[in-house]
Amino acid sequence: MKNTFLIICSLFVLLLGSCEPEISKFSPDAGNADFSVFVSIGCSQTAGFANNELYRSGQIVSFPNILSRQLLHVGGGEFRQPLMSDDVGYGNRLQLGYTIDCLGDSVLLPVAAGGMPDEGSLGNIYGDEGPFHNFGIPEARISQLFDPLNTTSGSFNKYFSRFASSSATTVLSDVLASNATFFSLWTGKSDILHFAMSGGTTSPIIEPDQFRSYLNVLLTQLRSMTMLGVVANIPHVLSYPYFSHIDPQGLWVTDTTHANGKRTTLPGELILLPAGEQIKCQGLGSENNPVPLHLYLSIEEVNIIKNRVNSFNTIISERVAHYNLAFADIHSLFAEVNEGIAVDGVSVNFEFIFGGYFSLDGVNTSRRGNALIANAFINAINSRYKSAVPRVSITQFQGIEYP
Q: Domains of the chain (ranges plus CATH)? A: 31-240+300-394 (3.40.50.1110)
Q: Classify residue 283 as exposed, middle or buried by CB count within 10 Å of its CB (0-12, 13-18, 19+).
A: exposed
Specify the pLDDT at position 6.
47
Q: Is 353 left (phi over 0), alpha (psi -120 to 50) or beta?
A: left
Lowest mean pLDDT across 100-114, 267-281, 368-382: 100-114
Residue pair 227/199 in contact by the 8 Å Cβ criterion: no
246 half-sphere exposure, CB direction, 13 A CA radius? 25
Q: Does the pLDDT value for residue 12 go beyond 70?
A: no
Specify the pLDDT at position 75.
98
**Interatomic CA distance for residues 75 and 194, integer angstroms:** 38
Specify the pLDDT at position 26.
77
**Interatomic CA distance for residues 6 and 46, integer angstroms:** 67
**Interatomic CA distance for residues 335 and 87, integer angstroms:** 31
Q: Does the pLDDT value for residue 290 go beyond 90?
A: yes
Q: Does the pLDDT value for residue 2 go beyond 70?
A: no
Instruction: Give the number of other CB atoms < 10 A from CB of residue 239.
Output: 14
Lowest mean pLDDT across 98-107, 229-238, 277-286, 321-330: 98-107
With the CA atoms of 117, 120, 125 and 127 taken in that order, what torsion angle do they form, in degrees rounded to the nearest 10? Answer: 180
Question: How does pLDDT run across 143-185, given as a tens digit for each residue?
Answer: 999 999 999 999 999 999 999 999 999 999 999 999 999 999 9
Rounded to 5 degrees, what are φ and ψ at 332?
-70, -35
Amino acid at 300: E
**Interatomic CA distance for residues 371 and 365, integer angstroms:** 10
Q: CA of 99: how far to CAs of 62, 81, 88, in Å? A: 29, 35, 21
Q: Does the pLDDT value for residue 19 go beyond 80?
A: no
Q: What is the mean pLDDT of residues 2-11?
A: 48
Specify the pLDDT at position 5.
47
Q: Classify residue 69 as exposed, middle or buried by CB count within 10 Å of its CB (0-12, 13-18, 19+).
A: middle
Residue pair 236/189 in contact by the 8 Å Cβ criterion: no
CA 1 to chain centroid, in Å, comes to: 73
Q: Does the pLDDT value for residue 87 go beyond 50?
A: yes
Q: What is the mean pLDDT of residues 115-128?
A: 92
Q: What is the mean pLDDT of residues 4-27?
A: 53
User: How far apart, in Å, do the first and last CA atoms of the chain sit?
Assistant: 75
**Interatomic CA distance for residues 254 and 379, integer angstroms:** 45
Using N-to-C axis directions, what is the helix angle for 299-322 and 189-197, rounded to 10°?
170
**Interatomic CA distance for residues 209 and 211, integer angstroms:** 5
Question: How does pLDDT run across 181-238, given as a tens digit for each residue?
Answer: 999 999 999 999 999 999 999 999 999 999 999 999 999 999 998 789 999 999 999 9
Average of per-residue pLDDT values in the chain: 94
Q: Which of 123, 311, 151, 319 is nearest to 221 (CA)?
A: 319
Beta bridge partners of 348: 341
Q: Does the pLDDT value for residue 18 go beyond 70?
A: no
**Interatomic CA distance for residues 302 and 268, integer angstroms:** 8
